Amino acid sequence: MLVTGGAGFIGANFVRHTLAHHPGYSVTVVDKLTYAGNRANLAGLPEDKVSFVEGDICDAPLMDQLVRDSDLVVHFAAESHNDNSLDDPWPFVNTNIVGTYTILEAVRRHDVRLHHVSTDEVFGDLALDDPHRFTETTAYAPSSPYSATKAGSDHLVRAWIRSFGIKATVSNCSNNYGPYQHIEKFIPRQITNILSGLTPKLYGTGEQVRDWIHVDDHNTAVHLILDKGRLGETYIIGADNDHVNNKQVIELICELMGQDGYEHVADRPGHDLRYAMDSTKLREELGWAPQYTDNDTGMREGLSQTIEWYRDNEDWWRTAKDGVEKQYAKRGQ
Ligand code: NAD
Ligand code: DAU
């Protein structure tokens, strides 16, 4: 199995999950090690099961060779942070669109199975009181340069399926949280703020809703799609947390960490209001169900574990913290 972006948050959790639960695979990770990639995310994994190649998915000769030597490609590599895409969209266009194109051409040449990992943000956003949720047939309406480039990559995959008959599946998942997530993202930023004695930061009013899912639940879904998913199909992945807004999440983090308050900071331009996922197809066709579904917010257990992970792994995030906060300070956030 070739895993692109396997040194990033979801990719590294996916590689760990694969070794623990699907020991038949041997894995090659290809990762450019951008600011978001970290070799330490794969530390401790057996070298006879996981090999690592530092490289760019836009490098066509490299991808040709790696794809030719694989039975299956799981494609996570991307520029993934909305706020960065507002500062400089080019790396997003290059990696998310040109990189996906490069992989598509390689799997087409070598007739290798591909799973493309995408996001709910391709569908745009919903009003707070909209009864609809995103399904596999919802029209695309991305808002940010990040989500537009992910939408572009999905369109390419679908076109290569239809026009060239490549063996591929696509999944669109909602917001993930869990260990190894870069501290620029909402949940780990607040946890590491509190651990650093800084005040947690909420964009705008905090009324925005994200359909939070634990990264392990995302990765069990990806493996089910690899094992039983129908080629050519798209699967929506979501854990039914579409009633929890950012204000509730930050307040839960504060409660779990004994923190007294948080501050409101500048809102994100073009900020999507609400995402909500309908994962009926995945549940009914493939028998998937999330494991992290407890109580009111569905996040208490997963968030508690995540907080513990950041508490126990300060060496992993500490060196990046000042730089990330300086970047946010420039944006008034
Ligand atoms: P991440 O930013 O933590 O990791 C991305 C990884 O890709 C990093 O290791 C980075 O070094 C690598 N990378 C970037 N450009 C590359 C290139 N040109 N060549 C090779 N490697 C490159 O992102 P993540 O949160 O783990 O997201 C992984 C995938 O899942 C992305 O495709 C993202 O769109 C998708 N996704 C993320 C979420 C979420 O909530 N985080 C939700 C749904 C879908
Ligand atoms: O929906 C899936 C997407 O989720 C993925 O495709 C993206 O790769 C991933 O980054 C994530 O995008 P978001 O923009 O939703 O995630 P982020 O963690 O940046 O922000 C989550 C929400 O929290 C969003 O409404 C903005 C808000 N926020 C964010 C930060 C960093 C804050 O209120 N304060 C913050 O400090």
Residue 250 alpha carbon, nearest atom of ligand 2 = 33
The first and second tokens of residue 262, run together, are 């948080």
Q: Which amino acid is at 143?
A: S
- pLDDT value for 173: 98
List pLDDT tens digits, range 130-178: 999 999 999 999 999 999 999 999 999 999 999 999 999 999 999 999 9
Rounded to an integer, the average pLDDT of 246-266 is 97
Rounded to an integer, the average pLDDT of 226-238 is 98
% of the chain with per-residue pLDDT over 90: 97
218 lines ligand 2 (CB under 6 A): no
184 lines ligand 1 (CB under 6 A): no
Domains of the chain and any CATH numbers = 2-182+212-240+271-292 (3.40.50.720)
11 lines ligand 1 (CB under 6 A): yes
Q: Is 146 annotated as catalytic?
A: yes
The CB-based long-range contact list for 36-39 (8 Å cut-off, 24+ gap) reads 36/8, 36/9, 36/79, 36/80, 36/81, 36/182, 36/184, 37/5, 37/7, 37/8, 38/7, 38/8, 38/12, 38/180, 38/316, 39/7
Query: Separation of 109 CA from ligand 1 center, angstroms?
Result: 25
- pLDDT value for 293: 84
**Mean pLDDT score across all residues of the chain:** 97
Query: Separation of 129 CA from ligand 1 center, angstroms?
Result: 31
Query: Between vectors from CA 117 to CA 287 and to CA 253, what angle results, nearest 5°?
Result: 80
The first and second tokens of residue 139, run together, are 């029209």
Question: What is the DSSP pairing of strand 213-214 with strand 168-173?
Answer: unpaired
DSSP annotation of 122:
G
Residue 296 pLDDT more than 70? no
Q: Is 177 annotated as catalytic?
A: no
Going by pLDDT thresholds of 50, 70 and 90, the confidence category of residue 127 is very high
Q: Is 284 annotated as catalytic?
A: no
- pLDDT value for 242: 87
- Answering whether pTM is above 0.95, one says yes
Task: Let me know: does 99 contact 58? Beta carbons within 8 Å.
Answer: yes
Rounded to an integer, the average pLDDT of 86-90 is 97
Question: Cα separation of 18 and 50, whole Å?
Answer: 10
**Which class for 216: exposed (0-12), middle (13-18), buried (19 or more C-beta within 10 A)?**
buried
Residue nearest to atom 7 of ligand 2 (CA): 80
- pLDDT value for 149: 98
Query: Quick count: other Cβ atoms within 10 Å of Cβ 326?
Result: 9
Task: Let me know: does 191 contact 257? Beta carbons within 8 Å.
Answer: yes
- pLDDT value for 297: 64
Rounded to an integer, the average pLDDT of 72-100 is 98
Query: Separation of 119 CA from ligand 1 center, angstroms?
Result: 11
CA proximity to 228, closest of 283, 169, 286, 168: 286
Core vs surface per residue 69-105: b (16+ CB within 10 A) or e:
ebebbbbbbbbbbbbbbeeebeebbebbbbbbbbbbb
Question: Cα separation of 28 and 189, whole Å?
Answer: 30
Residue 295 pLDDT more than 60? no
Rounded to an integer, the average pLDDT of 115-135 is 97
Query: Separation of 267 CA from ligand 1 center, angstroms?
Result: 23
